[in-house]
Chain A
Amino acid sequence: MSFFEIKNLDIEYQTRKETIEASKKVSFSLERGEIIGIVGESGSGKSTVANAIINLIDKPGKITNGSIRLDEIELCKNEKIIQNIRGKKIGFIFQDPQTSLNPLFTIKEQLVETIQTHSNLNYNEAEKKSINLLKEVGIENPKKRINDYPHQFSGGMRQRVVIALAISCEPDLIIADEPTTALDVSIQFKILNLLKKLTIERNLGVIIITHDMGVIAETTDRVIVMRFGNIVEQGKTSKILSKPETIECKSLVMSVPPTNKKIKRFKLLSPDGKQIQDSSIKLTNNIIKNWGTRERSNKKLLDFINVTKVFDEGSIISSKNSESKVKALDNVSFNIYEGESFGLVGESGSGKSTIAKIISSLISPTSGEIFFEDISLHDPKNKIIKNKFRGQIQMIFQDPYSSLNPRFKVKNIIAEPIKFFQKNIDNEQVNKNIYDLIDIVGMSRQSLERYPHEFSGGQRQRISIARALATRPRLLICDEPTSALDVSIQAQVLNLLKDLQEQLNLTILFISHDLPVIRQMCDRTSVLKNGMVCETNDTESIFINPKHSYTKELLKLMPKIESII
């Protein structure tokens, strides 16, 4: 008998129109000292299963069948039992460390409260135990820091506190729902190591839920792949990642961007297991005729010279003390040649998005100059010229759920920039352009009459791309265009961007925190840290032969799916 076991678990969500089965006959087991990973795309039911274990399913969902056993105790039948066990025998680590701690209480109060709820320790003993726990999860000077409030800790430190909370009552099982998704690579590495260490030291069972195959490869012993509420495959991690059997699993593994080589395109599988042949893109002759072809000229297109940006958040009295100001960008320079794709990579707070906003004229730099061809983009004197160049720089955003106006039909979303830049265009011509654009991004023409909320994230990102292309830009800024998408959708969108670049000779500025994606997408790359450029070089040289110590560290720490194959 295993230490933890789920058998034939069925979970249903009854809504007004239909019943959604979030989990269908899910069965798996877990031993002590083992880390099991659950992967799957969004909507595959992985979080639902995790929540079911601690009986925290949102209404109207309910467990209709099956059993969950921890040490021979049945969990899903009786609310009383689970209340005693939740927190005491099962610890839970949430995704976002920013919101999973109560900001009004000190760390001490939160730890002591949790410990005292589940044990008979008095206050002093509980406090002593809390300090030991903080030491165990690697927080320095725990005696002093225990009196701090959550906002005084950084994101990674906070996640450590959350882990300390989760293990405070000496649980047997820890469930971690996307524990490192909100964290940077270097912190992710440390948190995962901490989890691995605790698993062995305390002989715990750990369930990690994630969509990141790299994390799975680096931490788990076994893996469960879910899709539409079903387990499609489970087994040893190394086996699943190297020799997947089912089509779903194969297509999942194939769409993960490899970290050790550059591939031309992502291979995609259709649901019946055949490989989808190249180029979903159908460039009509019409659009080429309309747009004309652009030569890959290798001329300098964008020149970003010594730009510094200081955010002085609208305080009424501007502070004289320059040290208190946040320098988002510090003397950043790089240039982009026409037709290439240039990557910007860095952790959160490195100033990547600030650069995107400056180039697209959403904000202006504090000092420094930006030249697009030979025109200065931030010269207050030539506003007219700048407006003329507006259409030539377009942007694709990170979050496909907020980047389209929910009250507009897709047709009108795409038509708006066309009408804006070609004032005397007739309706017929506009429609023709819209059809061309929707064909290019590989969507059906019927979708033009619908509203954004009817589409999935990947489809919305395609609409977003169509809108950006509508002005016929020369420079396309992609600010984390795939970080909100599932891997297989990411592969499709990245393929689309590659095709577009090739056929339209677009210049792309690609911003991402995801090193493997950068490797697949970019010709040249700049590595940023705290608003400064660490190094700029050919992408391949950066990956093979990094010069800067920070780049080396990033490459060392990034989770690699190849590590166990």
Chain B
Amino acid sequence: MISKLIYNIFDTDIGYSFRKSKIAILATIVFLIIVLASLFASIVAPYNPFDPASISLMDAFTPPAWSDGGNSNFILGTDQQGRDMFSTMIYGSRISLTVGFASIIFALILGVSLGVTSGYLGGRYEIIVMRFTDVQLTIPSILMALLVDGIARGFISKSLHNDMAIYVLILAIGISEWPQFARVTRAATLVEKNKEYILASKIIGLSNIVIMFKHILPNILRPVLVISTIGLSQAIITESTLSFLGVGFPPTNPSLGTLIRFGNNFLFSGEWWITFFPAIFLVVLAFSINLLGDWMRDALNPKLKAR
């Protein structure tokens, strides 16, 4: 039963194009491994970096296992507090992925609903929404995120700030990403709304809300899916950048970006691994998502189907 279902999925045109694309398969495997590892971090990681009992300052600055002075207990070495780099990275990627997914969902809901409504309703409302996106697109997304983060800091007391960091970041990144969604969905809606099945719904007398969300929305999900994949890697990188700049996650709860920032301090004194491995990890993660997005863009594009 389940095997039949899986067979059916792989037998569709998209499944076929997936099977044919080695890059897509490789990217999916890498991405899935990272996601699963971060989901089951407590099982996969040899140490719990947040458990003070397992951390010993005596182990600080241990190099990776294969170099001089390395310790086979710590495959990728340890940082300045004696935390195992491998475990810390896995826990860090959990935070990065959470922020990435949550912020992209936030941006998606905001952007898609504004995009569909402005594309369908038109008029003054459309002009206002689209000028908003234009203005926001002139501000670099990092700057936008910094701005939101800064304002949030002003409102939240310092003691709460570390706990609230994750929500602030989701909001900040989400707000910097939504114009992409709004523009793409508006463009797709403009195409879709003149098709005759929409006219037919209007003649029946369906309300605008029903037409927009029941009829148009399912038909414009393809481009939205593509940009949300590419947006996901964007969001993860933005989060890392913010953490690198010191406005993201605190050292007690490090994301990949925070780890890179710490490592950066020791880069020139010879402890290269503290920054190198998280950075490579981040690159692999973002790259696998981007490759997946690239494949998806081609596979979902009817014009390229003939190939």
Task: List chain A positions with a Cβ less than 8 A from chain B.
Answer: 16, 58-60, 360-362, 387, 390-391, 393-395, 397-399, 402-407, 416-417, 420-421, 464, 467-468, 471
Pick from A59, A362, A467: contact of B199, CB below 8 A: A362
User: What is the minimal beta-carbon distance from B302 to any residue of chain A, in angstroms?
Assistant: 11
Q: Is the CB of A59 within 8 A of B306?
A: yes
Quick one: closest A residue to B204, CB to CB? A417
Task: List chain B positions with a Cβ less than 8 A from chain A.
Answer: 16, 195-197, 199-206, 215, 218-219, 306
Q: Is the CB of B197 within 8 A of A404?
A: yes
Interchain Cβ contacts under 8 Å between A and B, 28 examples: A58-B306, A362-B199, A362-B203, A391-B204, A393-B203, A394-B203, A395-B199, A395-B200, A397-B196, A397-B200, A399-B196, A402-B195, A402-B196, A402-B197, A403-B196, A405-B197, A405-B201, A405-B219, A406-B219, A407-B218, A407-B219, A416-B204, A416-B206, A417-B204, A420-B204, A420-B205, A467-B200, A468-B200
User: What is the minimal beta-carbon distance from B11 to any residue of chain A, in angstroms?
Assistant: 9
Quick one: closest B residue to A16, CB to CB? B16
Q: For the complex, what is the distance from the CA of A471 to the CA of B206, rounded to whole Å?
A: 13
Q: For the complex, what is the distance from the CA of A468 to the CA of B6, rounded to whole Å?
A: 38
Describe A's contact surface by its main secondary structure.
Answer: loop
Question: Top 8 closest A-B pairs, CB basis?
Answer: A403-B196, A390-B205, A397-B196, A407-B218, A402-B195, A405-B197, A417-B204, A360-B203
Q: Which residues from A are CB-within-8-Å of B202?
A: 362
Q: For the complex, what is the distance from the CA of A404 to the CA of B218, rounded to whole Å?
A: 13
Q: Is the CB of A405 within 8 A of B196?
A: no
**What's the A-B contact tally at a CB cutoff of 8 Å?**
55
Q: Which residues from B are CB-within-8-Å of A420?
A: 204-206
Q: Is the CB of A403 within 8 A of B203?
A: no
Q: Which residues from B are CB-within-8-Å of A406?
A: 219
Quick one: closest A residue to B219, CB to CB? A407
User: What is the minimal beta-carbon distance from B210 to any residue of chain A, in angstroms?
Assistant: 9
User: What is the minimal beta-carbon distance from B235 to any residue of chain A, in angstroms?
Assistant: 28
Q: For the complex, what is the distance from the CA of A500 to the CA of B196, rounded to whole Å?
A: 23
Q: For the complex, what is the distance from the CA of A402 to the CA of B215, rounded to whole Å?
A: 13
User: What is the minimal beta-carbon distance from A450 to any residue of chain B, in angstroms?
Assistant: 15
User: What is the minimal beta-carbon distance from B137 to any residue of chain A, in angstroms?
Assistant: 23
User: What is the minimal beta-carbon distance from A372 to any residue of chain B, in angstroms?
Assistant: 13
Q: For the complex, what is the distance from the CA of A271 to the CA of B239, rounded to whole Å?
A: 66
Q: Which residues from B are CB-within-8-Å of A362?
A: 199, 202-203
Q: Which residues from A are CB-within-8-Å of B199?
A: 362, 395, 397, 403
User: What is the minimal beta-carbon distance from B205 to any residue of chain A, in angstroms?
Assistant: 4
Q: Is the CB of B205 within 8 A of A387?
A: yes
Q: Is the CB of B203 within 8 A of A390?
A: yes
Quick one: closest B residue to A417, CB to CB? B204
Q: For the complex, what is the distance from the CA of A387 to the CA of B207, rounded to whole Å?
A: 11
User: What is the minimal beta-carbon distance from A393 to any residue of chain B, in angstroms?
Assistant: 7
Q: For the complex, what is the distance from the CA of A365 to the CA of B101, rounded to whole Å?
A: 49
Q: For the complex, what is the distance from the CA of A8 to the CA of B205, rounded to whole Å?
A: 56
Quick one: closest A residue to B307, CB to CB? A59
User: What is the minimal beta-carbon distance from A401 to any residue of chain B, in angstroms?
Assistant: 9
User: What is the minimal beta-carbon distance from A387 to any residue of chain B, in angstroms?
Assistant: 6
Q: Is the CB of B215 within 8 A of A405?
A: yes
Q: Which residues from B are CB-within-8-Å of A391?
A: 204-205
Q: Is the CB of A471 within 8 A of B204?
A: yes
Q: For the complex, what is the distance from the CA of A395 to the CA of B203, rounded to whole Å?
A: 7
Q: For the complex, what is the distance from the CA of A471 to the CA of B205, rounded to whole Å?
A: 11
Q: For the complex, what is the distance from the CA of A58 to the CA of B206, rounded to whole Å?
A: 42
Q: For the complex, what is the distance from the CA of A399 to the CA of B197, rounded to whole Å?
A: 10
Q: Which residues from B are CB-within-8-Å of A407?
A: 218-219
Q: Which residues from B are CB-within-8-Å of A467?
A: 200
Given contacts A394-B204, A397-B196, A420-B204, 17 further A-B contacts (CB under 8 A): A58-B306, A362-B202, A387-B205, A390-B204, A390-B205, A391-B205, A399-B196, A402-B195, A402-B197, A403-B196, A405-B197, A405-B219, A416-B201, A416-B204, A417-B204, A420-B205, A468-B200
Q: Which residues from A are CB-within-8-Å of B204?
A: 390-391, 394, 416-417, 420-421, 471
User: What is the minimal beta-carbon distance from B24 to any residue of chain A, in angstroms?
Assistant: 17
Q: For the complex, what is the distance from the CA of A403 to the CA of B215, rounded to whole Å?
A: 12
Q: For the complex, what is the distance from the CA of A82 to the CA of B201, rounded to whole Å?
A: 50
User: What is the minimal beta-carbon distance from B36 to any residue of chain A, in angstroms?
Assistant: 32
Q: Which residues from B are CB-within-8-Å of A471?
A: 204
Q: For the complex, what is the distance from the CA of A361 to the CA of B206, rounded to whole Å?
A: 13
Q: Which residues from A are CB-within-8-Å of B200?
A: 395, 397, 403, 464, 467-468
